[in-house]
Structure 1
């Protein structure tokens, strides 16, 4: 069966501002995110990709731009089903402010029961993303064979929910998964079960080294035992 490479978009201006972007238009990569995107073609050298699928949001399209320039033969598709969670009234708000919302406790501890005001539920988010992956797997295998490898560029919560599905984890456990900006996750789907070969791989282990670090919104959330909704900005 096909192998899927999931790439989270590079660090965005919303990530560094501590905002929950959602589908807010005009959210671009910041300088570091652009550098992460520029490095992506080199990280995937030798991987025989047959297709790329992207979320329609700007930060994902910008992340794939260097890869598409390096591989002009690669076909690019857009699929709204792997677009960011529809956070509704929460979109564009500061994560530090949202931390005090009663719903945040549900998002952290019981996400399968969480539905964003004016937006969608986390169950619906996962369902549409899984449906997209399953359909693309079938299409890619039919067109390119069982050893084909394809790529999807998406968002933190989407990728975490797909990994949870692949691992057979309940959605209520998906906040235990972490994927940094421009990280690579690889899942191979077989007739009986998926296999997760890479998870949130950036090739950079600097964030694991103890020491004095500047405080970040991500670190503050994680120190409190919470996941960063939307995925966070990664290492400082």
Structure 2
């Protein structure tokens, strides 16, 4: 019974500056971001996780480190599939300025056709992230079957099936793409989803179809973003 928790990194220096951080080095959590993240992690519905995977970028490493001090994770690993979109020439630019770019309309309305100049396409990023989620889910299911076999050999074990949880720490657009896939939404509609910095989202993969059980949960509510669920491309 696999369950995935998607944790967006906490409020970063780029979030507060209104810039598109992308893969720029040195973008870290703010003091406010750390405090808000710690408050939110106390609301998690689960404490034991089979895996804690995170983007290798600093703000996600910091977020994963804070999460690891709050939960009990069997393994912690940085994985490239969860890294932020490569925004190419847009990296580090002001979101306000980017709104006037001709490509911006495509990013918002036809995301599947958007490729950032000198960088990655949204479709490519979505594919690698969703593929990683499926790999993690398959692994959790394999672990579950192993547990069932062990219980079958033990006459004294009367426990029911075990739910296996994994936490993936990543970035806004990556998490939105994973949510859209779980809901069967076209990638072109993924900008209709918003996840706040430092928020967690829960997707239950135990049935024939993924079930979104919680999205963009933060202890601070709407105060972490100017819109419900947080901001957009950050």
**Which range, TM-score by smaller chain?**
0.7 to 0.9
The Cα of 1:140 is off from its aligned counterpart by 2.4
Normalising by structure 1, report the TM-score. Answer: 0.84
Q: Does 1:158 align with 2:174?
A: yes
Map of 1:94 onto structure 2? 94
SS of the residue corresponding to residue 136 of structure 1 reads helix
Q: Is contact 2:112-2:188 (8 Å) kept?
A: yes
Map of 1:228 onto structure 2? 232
Map of 2:43 onto structure 1? 43
Q: Does 1:187 align with 2:203?
A: yes
Q: Is contact 1:37-1:64 (8 Å) kept?
A: no
Map of 1:60 onto structure 2? 60
Farther off after superposition, 94-103 or 183-192: 183-192
SS of the residue corresponding to residue 43 of structure 1 reads coil
Larger radius of gyration: 2
Map of 1:175 onto structure 2? 191
Q: 1:91 to 1:163 in 2, by over 3 A?
A: same
Whole-Å separation in 2 of the counterparts to 1:132 and 1:29: 25
Instruction: Work out the number of aligned pairs and report it.
Output: 215
Normalising by structure 2, report the TM-score. Answer: 0.85
Map of 2:158 onto structure 1? none
The Cα of 1:36 is off from its aligned counterpart by 2.3
Whole-Å separation in 2 of the counterparts to 1:187 and 1:163: 8
Whole-Å separation in 2 of the counterparts to 1:74 and 1:144: 15
Map Cα deviations across residues 174-216 of structure 1 (whole Å, 9 max, x no partner). Answer: 11101001111000114621110011111433449xxxxxxxx
Q: What are structure 1's unaligned runs of at least 5 residues?
A: 209-217, 231-236
Map of 1:129 onto structure 2? 129
SS of the residue corresponding to residue 125 of structure 1 reads helix
Farther off after superposition, 186-195 or 147-156: 186-195
Map of 1:215 onto structure 2? none
Map of 2:213 onto structure 1? 197
Whole-Å separation in 1 of the counterparts to 2:115 and 2:45: 40
Q: 1:73 to 1:168 in 2, by over 3 A?
A: closer
Q: What are structure 2's unaligned runs of at least 5 residues?
A: 146-161
Map of 1:112 onto structure 2? 112
Q: Is contact 2:3-2:204 (8 Å) kept?
A: yes
Q: Does 1:143 align with 2:143?
A: yes
Map of 1:211 onto structure 2? none
The Cα of 1:34 is off from its aligned counterpart by 1.3
Whole-Å separation in 2 of the counterparts to 1:177 and 1:191: 23
Q: Is contact 2:49-2:72 (8 Å) kept?
A: no
Farther off after superposition, 192-201 or 72-81: 72-81
Q: Is contact 1:12-1:27 (8 Å) kept?
A: yes
Whole-Å separation in 1 of the counterparts to 2:106 and 2:126: 16
Q: 1:115 to 1:2 in 2, by over 3 A?
A: same
Whole-Å separation in 1 of the counterparts to 2:39 and 2:64: 11
